[in-house]
Amino acid sequence: MNVSTNILALLFLALGSCQGLRRHHVDGIVEEEIEFVAQPSKFGSLWPLPQKVQISQVSFKLTGFSFNIVDAKQSSAGPSCALLQDAYRRYYEYMFGNAKRSGKNKSRRAGPTDLTELQVWITSADSDCDAYPSVKSDESCEWPLSGIIRLETFSQLIYEDDYGAKSINATSISDFPRFPHRGILLDTSRHFLPVKVILANLETMAMNKINVFHWHIVDEPSFPYMSKTFPQLSQQGAFHPYTHVYTPADVKMVIEFARLRGIRVVAEFDTPGHTQSWGKGQKDLLTPCYSGSKLSGSFGPVNPILNTTYTFMTQFFKEVSTVFPDGYVHLGGDEVDFNCWKSNPNITKFMDQQGFGRDYSKLESFYIQRLLDIVATTNKGYMVWQEVFDNGVKLKPDTVVHVWIGGRYNDEMSKVTAAGYPTLLSAPWYLDYISYAQDWQNYYKVEPLSFNGNAF
């Protein structure tokens, strides 16, 4: 997707125009590259630090009564772009608070050092304010003279003196993200989170330019996602059918809140393991476990040998594909416990018929392959945890393999990328890696590309 059709392009602020170039030209002359920043800025607090930035000593005053964020006359997006208008209002409040502009203040004329206007110039010929961000959204921009920056970056450049007066220094910025996918995972199955908490997380993500909300919405302990097609899943599987569920309106609110901030929402529905909560509301979905020759009364992973399983999954993921607009859905596939499958005589018979022997990873692969085929019919791409790749499941070339297991994750990254698959890395950033003293520093010491392969 090019700049003209993605939503993130609309969030870049300009005093000039954004050409989306890595080099810049003025009157046909190639300018020198902007210096890399080696030390933190003393003006404002930029986070994350742009690729290149120059902050001059020339400063301008900003006051809430005289400053405006406006559409440039040349911009292809104007007042009808609700996303931009929402961003202008939101960032004005970030910078100046919710105080109303008084008539008394309006009568004061702006001084010669006041910055009174930030013009937003969208150069795309067909800007689409209703589109959703995608993994192909182009977030790179630069300008050699006055600087093209995100709204977030602009607000971070503002600083106050001892009396609360706000200033900003003339700045040149050249920035682009190192990785197109910068995500946060929240698990709302093990730890139900109210919608207001999820929205607060999205707000904080936007402030840090994190652009993917990986919503691990259901798992073993609970099923809070309220399905229109299968309402019994949350009625039986949620911690509480009224207070601990996400209604269709809740989900829609989260997705729209994220869209306005350039954040993708990638939902995860993990199977065949981690599905005990699914089985409470969907009869015969899970595998009955045996103790010797008798049923034990417990259940294991999704039953992969029944046609009804795939009928259910077809209907369920058809709904998911319409509810979540992102181009990807996360299908999990991790930590499948084979013990229940091993105990079930019907599973054993099926294994013999398929020629799987007693290799239960082949049975897992059989299930996941059929699931991938089902999801492919919804025109969605899919992400899977690394075990799916490790077990030799036949994957489509654009399948995203998510590496999460600690230890020798660099070796795993090498194998996955060598096989040609795009890859996500989470292994070194799990927040439960708690140790003594300032353990947070370890997260910042990770080099994601410290393996032999290619970056996604």
Residues with catalytic function: 335
Name every residue whose Cβ is closer than 8 Å to that of residue 137 and which is 6 or more positions away in sequence. 1, 6, 7, 8, 9, 180, 211, 262
Radius of gyration of the chain measured on its C-alpha atoms: 26
Listed in order, strand segments (DSSP E) in 139-205 are 141-142, 148-150, 159-160, 166-175, 183-187
Residue 120 half-sphere exposure, CB side, CA atoms within 13 Å?
23
| Backbone φ and ψ of 289, nearest 5° | -95, 150
The helix-helix angle for 345-354 and 360-376 (nearest 10°) equals 80
CA distance 453 to 456: 10
Helix and strand counts by DSSP (H, E) for the chain: 14, 19
CA distances from residue 232 to 97, 269, 450 in whole angstroms, order as listed? 45, 16, 46
What one-letter code names the amino acid at 65? F
Q: Do 234 and 225 form a contact (C-beta atoms < 8 A)?
A: yes
Hey, what are 333's tokens?
């596939």
